[in-house]
Amino acid sequence: MTRQERIAALKAAAKERILILDGAWGVMIQKRGLAEADYRGDRFKDHPVQLKGDNDILCITRPDIIGELHDAYFAAGADISETNTFSATTIAQADYEMQGAVWDINFEGARLAREAADRWTAKEPHKPRFVAGSMGPLNVMLSMSSDVNDPGARKVTFDQVYEAYTEQVKALHEGGVDLFLIETITDTLNCKAAIKAILDLQDQGYEPLPIWISGTITDRSGRTLSGQTVEAFWNSIRHCKPFAVGLNCALGADLMRPHIAELARIADTLVSAYPNAGLPNAMGEYDETPDETAHELHEWAGRGIVNILGGCCGTTPDHIRHVADEVRGLKPRQIPERPKAMRLAGLEPFELA
């Protein structure tokens, strides 16, 4: 299948059923008990700083593990698997002094996911598999000060964030992704830089790909870390006409549900949700079982408030398998038609009919 044929197949599948995204990558990599040597490989054996913990670099140094994880999630029933590139920008990789490897991380991450998706599509042609290019949040924010004594202080500029995302999206595109997933968004202005980086690709001769945007509500306040409500967040990013919008991370399914229901009411596109396996315990681990996660998400699907479901922190292929089994045969959410109005946003939404 060509990329445009895959995109058409993805959109057709979304009309017919609830799509399934993969689960957590960090927890699965941690279970491998990898050593520093695994992260370094031959290419980075003399790198001056520790690399253990930089999971994205494994796309280069342990591609076998990354390929196996894609296979595990596709085998569990995932329609879409993310590239292992959550922190693969020059800004985020600066923590490991790996800025020079960013292009290769993204390209190889996309290539590995593409190979796995194509294998499973060839094996099960009735259920094509797709690749989402993962673009995670940065370790710096444009909307909030980096110095409590200076409200205007910022560690980066918009142009620097834009350039960092531009390198990432070009490499992901050339590596073969089907869509871009800007995820775990804490800062809407960072997200806008990522959106601009994607949209500007068209002016440089790249074929357009769908955009999927997933924010995160950081606590019970119902707001992103930069202070926006769910509706204000949607109003801020809907101009790019995303393929899907949703929430992931931070909360378990029970606490995320009202915010997903709100998105389902206001968003004139697909709605996605991939919550954590509950909240972390005192040891930072996640105790929610696959059955418990699937039970929660089955209710959402039965109520018709979601189009795409998956898992975030603490979820495994078993969680994804149970979710896929629970929602099989249930109809996806119907996209609402909202009356035309001028809809703006700061921290709160504003609507003028």
- CB-based contact 185:214 (threshold 8 Å): yes
To the nearest 10 degrees (0 to 180), the angle between helices 158-175 and 188-199 is: 50
What percent of the chain lies above the pLDDT cut of 70?
A: 100
Burial degree of 254 (CB within 10 A; 0-12, 13-18, 19+): middle
**Is 59 annotated among the ligand-binding residues?**
no
Question: Is 22's pLDDT higher than 80?
Answer: yes
The pLDDT of residue 7 is 98
Q: Say if residues 192 and 125 touch (Cβ distance below 8 Å).
A: no
The alpha carbon of 34 is separated from its chain's Cα centroid by a whole number of angstroms, namely 24
How do beta strands 342-345 and 349-352 pair?
antiparallel
The verdict on whether residue 312 carries a ligand-binding annotation is: yes
Query: Is residue 260's pLDDT more than 90?
Result: yes
Q: What is the pLDDT of residues 93-135, one digit of tens each?
A: 999 999 999 999 999 999 999 999 999 999 999 999 999 999 9
* pLDDT at residue number 31: 94
pLDDT tens per residue across span 289-321: 999 999 999 999 999 999 999 999 999 999 999
CATH of domain 3-352: 3.20.20.330
Domain residue limits, the chain = 3-352
pTM score? 0.96
Place of tokens 């149970």: 322
The CA distance from 309 to 111, in Å, is 24
Joined tokens for residue 6: 């895959």
Contact between residue 40 and residue 47 where contact means Cβ atoms under 8 Å apart: yes
- Looking at the predicted structure, is the pLDDT value of residue 353 above 80? no
Residues ≥6 apart with Cβ < 8 Å to 134:
82, 83, 84, 85, 86, 109, 181, 183
Is the pLDDT at 219 greater than 90, yes or no? no
For residue 13, how many other CB atoms are within 10 A of its CB? Answer: 17
